[in-house]
Structure 1
Amino acid sequence: MMQRYNLRLSDKEYEGLKQKSSETERSINDLIREAIREYLKQETQG
């Protein structure tokens, strides 16, 4: 099951994500989810 979350970004953050999305041909949602997974992985590994 997936949960919905409303995220606010600065213009600079959004433009950076939009650029990375275009470069990688991946959605902004996919990039954010990957970053969260990587962050949680690092946090649990200590």
Structure 2
Amino acid sequence: MPKPLLDFLGYSFFFWSNENEEPPHIHVCKGKQTSNATKFWITGDGIKL
């Protein structure tokens, strides 16, 4: 698992550098990191869930 970019109130924010050509996004999870963590998509209009 990658090292979290940020730990905030028990949430970890992290990303993988190559994730099957998916658009840019960041994973967020509470506690232990998992591959099915919530994804926030980073777009030109802002951030989408």
TM range (shorter): under 0.3
Instruction: Output the TM-score relative to the length of structure 2.
Output: 0.23
Instruction: Output the TM-score relative to the length of structure 1.
Output: 0.24
Pick 1 or 2: higher relative contact order, CA cutoff 8 A, min separation 6. Answer: 2
- Structure number with greater Rg is 1
